[in-house]
Structures are given as structure tokens and as C-alpha cells.
Structure 1
Amino acid sequence: MGLADWGDVPTWIGGAGALAAGWFAYQTIRSQRQQIGEQQAFIVEQTRFMDDQRQNLELERAELRAQAGERRVSQGRKISLDFRTSGSTGRDERGHSTGYNAWWVEVGNGSSDPIHDVTVKFGQAYTAVKATDREVVHHPDGGRRPVPVPIVPAGHRVIFESPEWPEATVDNNRPVLLFTDDAGVRWRHDSYGKLEEVPADGAP
């Protein structure tokens, strides 16, 4: 066996060094890829978590808004509006009324709090001409109240009476109740049972 060819030793050492450098670079790249993969997985997980949190917050806010809306309208739903035509435009041969020329409207506060600035309007241009508190009919003034009525206590009922019109005009001037609840919100309750908040500009 002959002696080693020392002329090739530097080449061998250089090749071994290159191999080691390549292995080190491969391990570095592999480690970096693994770290990048872990970071991407973490970002995906965090994004999913944040989306879940956002959806939960949106649901909670929607629930809170619904609860606030329910509380806002709860008193208004306990205010009743009952009405009928009244008066007479004439009688037939049997003495029965042949038609009516006014509205008789009863507003009942079935809530546990008072309502304020209560009035009934008829059609686009008319306001009740008389208001009477049914709970104090034995009062010296007969329960007569100004229109609008400043306050209707809990459990009280107020009767509003419309002006008189020709019989054919009565149904064109159906009653609409306007009142302010105890939280200061203004409401409109029409003769078809629709309850809605009055806009801030006060438009009826």
C-alpha cells in the first residue's frame, strides 16, 4: 500500500468543509422553515381566535341593543288606546241614531310609572277639545283636565273627546295618541295599534 497522495488532502479538506457548510445551511433553512411554519400556524390560530372574539362581541352588543330597545319601548306598550264614535247626526223613525259625528277616546296607563304631555289628535289638523280623568270623576271639577294632559299617573285613565264634524268626515279624522314616557321618550300610538317613537324634530 502506497503513501497517501498528500496533494489531494487540501482538496479533501475543502470538500469536507463545503459539505459541513452545506449541512449547516440545510439545518438552518430547515429550522427557519419550521419556525416560519409555527409562526404561520400561530397567526392562523390567533386570527381565528380574534374572529371568534369579534363575533362574540357583536352578538353581545346585539343582545344589549335588543335589551335596551325592549326596555325603551316597554312602558309605551302598556299604554292602551280605546275609542269609539260618539254623538249623533240624527235619528230614524224608531229613534235610533243614524250616524256619529265625533270620537270618544280612552287612554289607559297600565304601566307602573306616569306618562306626560298626553294628547290625542284627530286627522292632520284637530286636537281633542276635552279631557277627563276617569279616576277622579267625583272631584269638584269633575275630573276635567287641560289638553294636553300634563301627567297621567300609573293606573289612571283619561277620556279625550274630539271636535264634531259632519258624519262623512269622522272616519277621515281617526285618533292618534301622543305621549312622553317616564324616560323622556316621545311616542305615537295610532288607531291601528302601531306604536312608534316620535322623531327628535317632533314631527307627528
Structure 2
Amino acid sequence: MPLAYLHLGSYQPDWGDIPTWCAAVLALVAGWVAYRLFKIESGRDEKAREEARRAQAVKVAAWFADSPDGGEEFVPGALIRNASDLPIYNVHVRHTCSYADGEFEEIDRILNPPAEDDPFGVGVHPDARGPDVSIIPPGECHVPLDAQHLQVFHLPHVDDWQVEVTFDDASGQTWSRDRHGILTRG
């Protein structure tokens, strides 16, 4: 009798169990594939949400300019370009002066709240600190250096001027663009 059981040709497997096991393995594989697809789609959705959040902020840039319109008038300061279709708010400009010895000096400027004769609030308040309600509409805005720091501009040991800008977009999200042009969410 023991030899009869060892003969493989006479073995009859229980086929009812093999399809059940195959179905279980396929269900596990299908579950794993569904999980991976969910993770991929979730990543795409998050990336799309982040791009939508950044849509206005990526259209705002700032740099140092010798004059507001590139003309002959010498008025050094920051030129802020808002290429979006919506205004930006609470604008804080930081002029960064680098000296030949590698040292930096930072000059903070916050735009004034809108006034009757300046409806878009593009005037400046020297050395102001704290939040503000300033607005820069679509287009360009020149934020000049104040008289005190304009004297520094003419010193021979000043190598370079750069600009950093912090602002709120139309949705209220705070953004910063550093002196290297890198945009970060504040």
C-alpha cells in the first residue's frame, strides 16, 4: 500500500483547492497593483494642487535696477514684476548689498498702504517693519532705495546689489523669492 501512494501517476489532486489558491494569489497581486496605482495618482494630484497654489507666485519676480524704466534717470532700487492677472499684497522688499570683502548688508522696505493719491500703494516707507496692506497690481513697480542707503550705493567697495521679496498672493498664501530667484512658500 505505501508504494501505491508514492506512484505519482495515480495521484489525483483536489482541483477545488488549486483554483481557490490561484484566485487568492491573483487577488493579492490585484490589491498590490491597485495600491501602487492609488499612490501614483495621489502623487499626481498633489503635484497638480501644488502647481495650482504656485500659479500666481511663479509669475512674480524682483531684481535690482538703476532706473524704473531703463531710461537715463538714475533711481536705483528694486524692480518688481507681477506678470500674473491678479495683484499681490503685503509686499516686503529687501535690498541686499554685497561688499568686496564678502560681507552683506540688508535694507528692508515695506510698501505703504494705499493712499488717495497713490491708489495702488506703490510708495515706500524706509526701514519699516511688520505687516502691511500694500498692493502691486499686474505690471511692474519700482521700489527705490531711500536717501540714507542711496549713499551706500555709490561707495566703491560695494560689489553687487540683489533683491529679495516676500508677498501674499490673491489666495492669501505668503511667498518669498530670495536673492538667487528661488521661490519658496512662506
TM range (shorter): 0.5 to 0.7
Q: Larger relative CO (CA 8 A, sep 6+): 1 or 2? A: 2
Cα deviation for residue 73 of structure 1 reads 0.9
Cα deviation for residue 49 of structure 1 reads 0.9
Task: Look up the match of 2:25.
Answer: 44
Residue identity opposite 1:155 in structure 2 = P
1: distance between equivalents of 2:118 and 2:29? 73
Cα deviation for residue 159 of structure 1 reads 1.6
Percent identical among aligned pairs is 16
**What does residue range 67-82 of structure 1 map to in structure 2 within 5 Å?**
67-82=48-63
**What does residue range 134-153 of structure 1 map to in structure 2 within 5 Å?**
139=117, 144-146=123-125, 150-153=133-136
**What does residue range 180-191 of structure 1 map to in structure 2 within 5 Å?**
180-191=168-179
More strand by share: 2
- Judge conservation of contact 2:122–2:135 (CA < 8 Å) in 1: no
Compare 144-153 and 113-122 and name the one that shifted more.
144-153
Q: How many residue pairs get matched?
A: 152
1: distance between equivalents of 2:122 and 2:137? 16
Compare 117-126 and 178-187 and name the one that shifted more.
117-126
Give the SS at the match of 1:128. Answer: strand
Task: Look up the match of 2:180.
Answer: 192
Q: Which runs of 5+ in 2 are unaligned?
A: 1-9, 68-73, 97-104
Structure number with greater Rg is: 1
Cα deviation for residue 111 of structure 1 reads 1.4
Once superposed, what is the RMSD of the aligned Cα atoms?
3.5
TM-score normalised by L of structure 2 = 0.65
Residue identity opposite 1:68 in structure 2 = R
Q: Which runs of 5+ in 1 are unaligned?
A: 1-25, 87-99, 199-204
Give the SS at the match of 2:17. Answer: helix
Cα deviation for residue 154 of structure 1 reads 3.7
TM-score normalised by L of structure 1 = 0.60
